[in-house]
Amino acid sequence: QVQLVESGGGLVQAGGSLTLSCAASARTFSLYTVGWFRQAPGKEREFVAAIRWTGRSTYYADSLKGRFTISRDSAENTAYLQMNSLKPDDTAVYYCAAVWGTYGSAWPPLKYDYWGQGTPVTVSQ
């Protein structure tokens, strides 16, 4: 089992920035590919970004590329999502997810095995 805990969400005005954190219980968290997802009220969950277990590859939803940045700190077993130029449409509960990665794994991953509880982000007009 891998426990994931998101933090850093809150209320921010349009144009502002937030950095979300995802703390993992796994000592070998650096061997897990990490993804960020979000779910807005009344909408389906959507993919935001992913960072491969190697730390050398990232992948973003087309609409978010350039505004959001995913990163990780293996020493702290933590992944991050830096969000800039936030818009009201970015309002959602943001989730981090993880899956064990190998060189033979699909990229981007086809599925994630572990999920956090989510942290809400509200962007006001």
pLDDT in tens, the chain (125 residues): 799 999 999 999 999 999 999 999 988 899 999 999 999 999 999 999 999 999 999 999 999 989 999 999 988 899 999 999 999 999 999 999 999 998 889 999 999 999 999 999 999 99
Which amino acid would we find at residue 5? V
| Cα 5 to Cα 85, 103, 123, distances in angstroms | 24, 26, 21
Compute the distance between CA of residue 36 and CA of residue 18 in angstroms, rounded to an integer: 14
Task: Tell me the CA end-to-end span of the chain in Å, nearest whole number.
Answer: 40
pLDDT for the residue 51: 97
pLDDT for the residue 104: 87
pLDDT for the residue 77: 94
Return the C-alpha torsion angle 90, 114, 44, 57, nearest 10: 60
Rg over alpha carbons for the chain, rounded to the nearest Å, is 14
